[in-house]
């Protein structure tokens, strides 16, 4: 039986979930942890049962970071393209895990790698979502100097998402890192402009600005709290919500 606090129907019908590459590495500190991947797939599977449209953008920081490579002498553009390829590896791993659980998925990449994934075509992505498939967007925007956070916001705008879910290791947005500072203060609600002015490290400024232009709310939540993805989509007040001045 549904509790009074839990809405009977999902609050959001089309959602873009942003996963960092680091989310897949678990305690090993690099690469892909099979146990973590399986847990995330279980959570996504529960969301898939809600009959909503779910797209995912995944990072590649667990394998390669273009910015870090640039600091060691690799050309920034080259490093960023290497990072895009890392996101494709993560997307394929997630697709494999989801499909082993009977969840139909498609991986679309901003770089043409047609032997392993579809090229990104907006209309095709929208059609996949309408058919109940989970669509995983990889390779960022396909351009260097743009983060996967920006790619997530861009794809959310293109598919007409109701919400961007930003998965993190903590339960919302704080004025400073709660893992380092015990006196860190959590924000329950923020406006886009507050995030930019306070220079809060939720997403980069380009991603926040795009979200503001498209008026797509962002909810920052703890990925590793069981059931959180589903609960947020159902409308439970979890994490921190970032939206326009008029909505807060």
- Kindly list the domain boundaries of the chain, sorted by start residue: 14-243
Q: Mean pLDDT over residues 221-234, rounded?
A: 96
Residue 38: both structure tokens together: 């399986």
Q: Binning pLDDT at 50, 70 and 90, where does residue 201 land?
A: confident
The pLDDT value given to residue 68: 79
Q: Write the burial class of residue 8 (CB in 10 Å: 0-12 exposed, 13-18 middle, 19+ buried).
A: exposed
Contact status, residue 190 vs residue 240, Cβ threshold 8 Å: yes
Q: Binning pLDDT at 50, 70 and 90, where does residue 245 land?
A: confident
Please indicate, yes or no, whether the overall pTM of this predicted structure exceeds 0.85: yes
d(CA 5, CA 166): 23
Q: For the chain, how many residues are written?
A: 248
pLDDT at 102 over 80: yes
CATH number assigned to the domain with residue range 14-243, chosen from the 4 options 3.40.1160.10, 1.10.3720.10, 3.40.1190.20, 1.10.10.60? 3.40.1160.10
Q: Binning pLDDT at 50, 70 and 90, where does residue 247 land?
A: low
């Amino acid at each position: 039986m549904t509790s009074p606090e839990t809405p009977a129907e999902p609050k959001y019908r089309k959602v873009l979930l942003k996963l960092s590459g680091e989310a897949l590495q678990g305690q090993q500190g690099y690469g892909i942890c099979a146990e973590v991947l399986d847990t995330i797939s279980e959570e996504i599977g529960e969301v898939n049962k809600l009959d909503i449209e779910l797209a995912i953008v995944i990072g590649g920081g667990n394998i390669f970071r273009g910015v870090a490579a640039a600091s060691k002498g690799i050309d920034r553009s080259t490093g960023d393209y290497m990072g895009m390829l890392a996101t494709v590896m993560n997307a394929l791993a997630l697709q494999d895990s989801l499909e082993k659980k009977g969840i139909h998925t498609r991986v679309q990449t901003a770089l043409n790698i047609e032997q392993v994934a579809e090229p990104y075509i907006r209309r095709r992505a929208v059609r996949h979502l309408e058919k109940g498939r989970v669509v995983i967007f990889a390779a960022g925007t396909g351009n260097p100097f743009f983060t996967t956070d920006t790619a997530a916001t861009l794809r959310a705008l293109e598919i007409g998402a109701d919400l961007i879910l930003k998965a993190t290791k903590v339960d919302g947005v704080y004025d400073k890192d709660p893992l380092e500072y015990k006196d860190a203060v959590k924000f329950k609600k923020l406006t886009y402009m507050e995030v930019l002015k306070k220079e809060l490290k939720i997403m980069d400024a380009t991603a926040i600005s795009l979200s503001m232009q498209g008026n797509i709310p962002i909810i920052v939540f703890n990925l590793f709290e069981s059931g959180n993805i589903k609960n947020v989509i159902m409308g439970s007040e979890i994490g921190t919500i970032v939206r326009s001045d008029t909505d807060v």
